[in-house]
């Protein structure tokens, strides 16, 4: 094998290991929204949304948009966790396809949320938009 092919093979194996290890580790430990803490996670989201609602001081006309926004932003329930033994029994290409499928599901949920944020943001006043931007940035930094 040439040095170039060996390097490509090593990069591919490292990518495969790095790409699947965190997903499998999270699924196994029950951490975060994928695992056993989904109820607590949902409660935290509700509290955060209530605080944001109070800070924005929405008008009655904006409350309808808020309801739609908050419903679309709610977690859709616990994410499906991959079965560890099933994932380990798959060949590398099959495992990568499974991971890619999960990522596509996540991407579609995120795209729906982007639309919800844009629709809600459009009904806010410039001052409310500034406050929303600040609060949204704080949440994303964690």
Instruction: Please state the separation of Cα 108 from the chain's center in Å.
Output: 10
> Domain containing 112: what range?
3-141
- For 7-30, the pLDDT digits (tens) are 666 566 556 555 544 444 444 444
Q: How many CB atoms lie within 10 A of CB 80?
A: 10
How many structural domains does the chain have?
Answer: 1
Per-residue tokens: 1? 């094998």
Task: Quote the CA–CA distance of 88 and 27 in Å, as a whole number.
Answer: 13
- Please report where in the chains the tokens 């949304």 appear, as a residue: 49
Which whole number is the average pLDDT over 61-87?
83
- For 27-45, the pLDDT digits (tens) are 444 444 445 567 787 788 8
Higher-confidence residue: 74 or 123?
123
- Please report where in the chains the tokens 């919800």 appear, as a residue: 116
Per-residue tokens: 45? 């989201």
103 in helix, strand or coil? helix
């Amino acid at each position: 094998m040439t040095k170039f092919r060996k390097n490509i093979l090593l990069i591919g194996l490292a990518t495969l290991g790095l790409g699947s290890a965190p997903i499998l580790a999270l699924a196994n430990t029950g951490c975060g929204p994928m695992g056993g803490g989904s109820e607590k996670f949902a409660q935290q989201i509700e509290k955060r949304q209530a605080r944001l609602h109070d800070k924005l001081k929405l008008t009655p006309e904006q409350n309808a948009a808020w309801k739609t926004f908050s419903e679309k932003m709610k977690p859709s329930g616990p994410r499906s966790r991959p079965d560890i033994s099933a994932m380990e029994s798959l060949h590398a290409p099959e495992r990568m396809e499974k991971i890619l499928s999960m990522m596509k599901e996540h991407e579609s949920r995120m795209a729906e949320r982007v639309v919800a944020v844009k629709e809600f943001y459009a009904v806010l006043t410039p001052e409310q938009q500034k406050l929303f931007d600040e609060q949204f940035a704080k949440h994303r930094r964690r």
